[in-house]
Chain A
Amino acid sequence: MLAFAAQNWVCVIDTSIDSLVTVMSIAWLKFPDMGFLATFSLARPTALRSLRKTHHYERHNRMAKVIIENVYKIYTGDKGKLVTAVEDVNLTVESEEFMVFVGPSGCGKSTTLRMIAGLEEISKGSIYIDKRRVNDVPPKDRDIAMVFQNYALYPHMTVYQNMAFGLQLRNFPKAEIDARVRDAAAILGLTPEMLERKPKALSGGQRQRVAVGRAIVRKPKVFLFDEPLSNLDAKMRVQMRTEISKLHTRLNSTMIYVTHDQVEAMTMGDRICVMKDGRIQQVAEPLDIYNTPANLFVASFIGSPPMNLFEGTIENRTNHLVFVEKTKEGLTPLTVRVDERQESKLQSRIGKPVVFGIRPEDLEDKHLVADPNPAFIISAVAEVSEPMGSETHLYLTTGTHTFIARSHGQLRVEPSTRMELVANMKKAHFFDCVDKKDYVKEFGEINVEKWQTACGLIV
């Protein structure tokens, strides 16, 4: 009897689980906003399905402002620990602007982009595209297009079909689709013959063009690029970089571009948003970021080769403020006078630890400077010199800090020669040097980048 009951159970469980799951998955897929299932799901609840009609796209307006307001992304990581990937991000991307999100990997830039796209749920805060709050709007109704890092082309479709897919799903008339695809192909330099090929028969650069083409044909309000060039070789990357810039000029659309490459950020962006640990560090025009970085992290992240940084203190010597390097015992510290215009802001930091930052191009070989002021001369030992043709990169050391100088001459320097360099102190930066004790990681290492974000610019 018992055995029969047990078998009965097995059978009932078998059939019922099967049907339950099937019904649940179908129901959930069909109506993702259905009651409890939706609250559980990590996917986006569908709310508005009103924008299907073709005419909406016909008379659509490319001007669109993207507003990100107090946005958080919090997810449950290993062992149920909450991880904050994006923390209190506030940003307005103006209409027709080319905004670049840049930062090291894991800084939350892609997550932010994916939240704008609707591929990631927004934990807290709001995102507005063209004045409409889109938190609960599914990606397809946000009027955006996205270009992915690995192209994400459908491998079984031809280039033409790949580009036309989004329009077909939106029931565009065939003639319109054809016209748009061929227009986009012409803009991107894809030949009609290429349109008939499958993606695997294309080179990396061509594939990325197709991916961009797929975005263009939709004529979206906002273009989103998620590290689109990082799979390309160096030469192709430079070429595509200019092409995307040209495209922006031509289409006049709002574009948001994510990259970890600061060169791309500097060259392409109208404005750059530097991110680190889920927080915005600075938003400004490329040259502003370069010339006045908000903190030590931005200073060291933007620029190639990066800004030279020396820890030390400000001291008052014979009516002048002087930066004195913090050295290992027994070494003569690097000492350099502070530019007069910066002195007033540094008065309050006398005797306190600071970080002195100077860009490589602001250090020049003494012999190439006419009439140098001895107070601005620093001395260091050259370790390596790299002749680039137009300039020479010198890798030097003070004994405690290593740094790079970018001399404009074609120098020949033997290793281990002591050199004298003139620092252009007008362009020097000073940052607060926060106590590193608060930034110790698990194994006693210091989380340098996190520490850097805490060291704000003084001048």
Chain B
Amino acid sequence: MSHASTTSVGRKPSDTLSHIIIWAIFAIELLPFYMMLQMSVKTNTSFMTNPWLPAPPADWQWSNFSYGLGLIGPYIANTVFVATLGTAASLFLAICAAYFFARYRMPGSDILFAMFMFLMLMPGVANIVPLFTLLKSMNLLNTLWALIIVGIAGGQVFAIFVLKNFIEEIPKDLFEAAEIDGASHFQQMRNVVIPMSAPIIGTLAILMFLGKWNDFMLPLIVMRDKELFTLGVGLIYLNGEYVKQWGRIMAAFLIASMPLIIMFLFTMKLFVRGLSGGAVKG
């Protein structure tokens, strides 16, 4: 009896091994974050003498953060501008397109949708050279608009795919009731589609925002002026241009990752709900 009560159901010796593996992976995942945290409050000297363990709290260099913020402040502003505008516009267009694909058919709409899906298979990097040429001929090189426009076009496909399936799940009667109530298409989107697919739209918004926040390749290629850098590129250049003030660089990195961490922590529930939302609809 006592034996049974002390052993968890399904616990086998082989589980110990998998637990060790999981913990190991977990540690590897967290190591960079830990290093960033503890380095962000050290001076170069204290880092050289003690690279692995946190410094005693009395020696913490809070000034690293104000300096770090000064370094990346403009990058953050650029990134927020690009990511917010790109996400909003991309989502809006994706909702329109998904609404159309989900609710109406016209000859060729299947082919059109299939082409969309095909685009999802295309790795973004494969487009880099022609994209560059295209942006060059559009005189958009070295502007934030290049990032925004490409961001708007690029993020949509996945969003349309997910949203279309979600909108198809909304009872048709609701749209018809709205139509009889006098709602135009945009009003139907606002009053039926958006409230009813809020979790999935939220999830998509987070994903898009994350993607644009972390975008590295495109800004690296398109941007030349330092003032126009977004975070992805800006942080890399920090590494190269200064005498390695590790503490300051890490403080800047930490500041740059903060919004994402905060956003993720607070929207985790929504995020999970959105991802599983399409599967079981109550």
Contacts and interface: CB of A to CB of B under 8 A. Distances in A.
A40 B195 contact: no
B100 A148 contact: no
Contacts of A149: 173
Interface stretch (B6-14, B34-42, B101-109, B225-233): B101-109
A137 to B, nearest CB: 12
B179 A140 contact: yes
The interface centre, meaning the residue of B97, B106, B185 with most chain A CB atoms within 10 A of its CB, is: B106
A25 B180 contact: no
Given A14-B122, A14-B127, A42-B105, A150 B180 contact: no
Contacts of B56: none
Given A150-B171, A169-B182, A21 B153 contact: no
A200 B232 CA distance: 46
A250 to B, nearest CB: 22
Contacts of B180: 117-119, 139-140, 144-146, 166
Interface in B211-242: none
Contacts of A140: 179-183
Contacts of A37: 106
Given A10-B126, A10-B127, A165-B181, A26 B96 contact: yes
B174 interface: yes
Contacts of A43: 104
Contacts of A7: 126-127, 129-130
A8 interface: yes
Contacts of A443: none
Nearest to B160: A21
Contacts of A22: 93, 96-97, 156
Interface residues of A, number: 48
**Consensus secondary structure, chain A interface:** helix
Given A14-B119, A29-B96, A37-B106, A119 B153 contact: no
Output the residue of A12, A25, A37 with the most chain B CB within 10 A: A25
A11 interface: yes
A152 B20 CA distance: 52
B173 A155 contact: no
Interface in A61-114: none
Given A29-B186, A40-B107, A140-B180, A14 B112 contact: no
B174 A154 contact: yes
List the 10 shortest-distance A-B pairs measured between CB atoms, nearest first. Answer: A11-B130, A166-B181, A152-B173, A140-B182, A25-B100, A152-B177, A29-B185, A156-B195, A169-B182, A8-B130
Interface of A: 4, 7-15, 17-19, 21-22, 25-26, 28-30, 37, 40-43, 117-119, 138-140, 144-146, 148-150, 152-156, 165-166, 169-170, 214, 218
Interface of B: 93, 96-97, 99-100, 104-107, 112, 115-116, 119, 122, 126-127, 129-131, 133-134, 153, 156-157, 171, 173-174, 176-183, 185-187, 191-192, 195-196
10 contacts: A4-B130, A7-B130, A13-B119, A18-B156, A25-B96, A25-B100, A41-B104, A140-B180, A166-B180, A169-B182
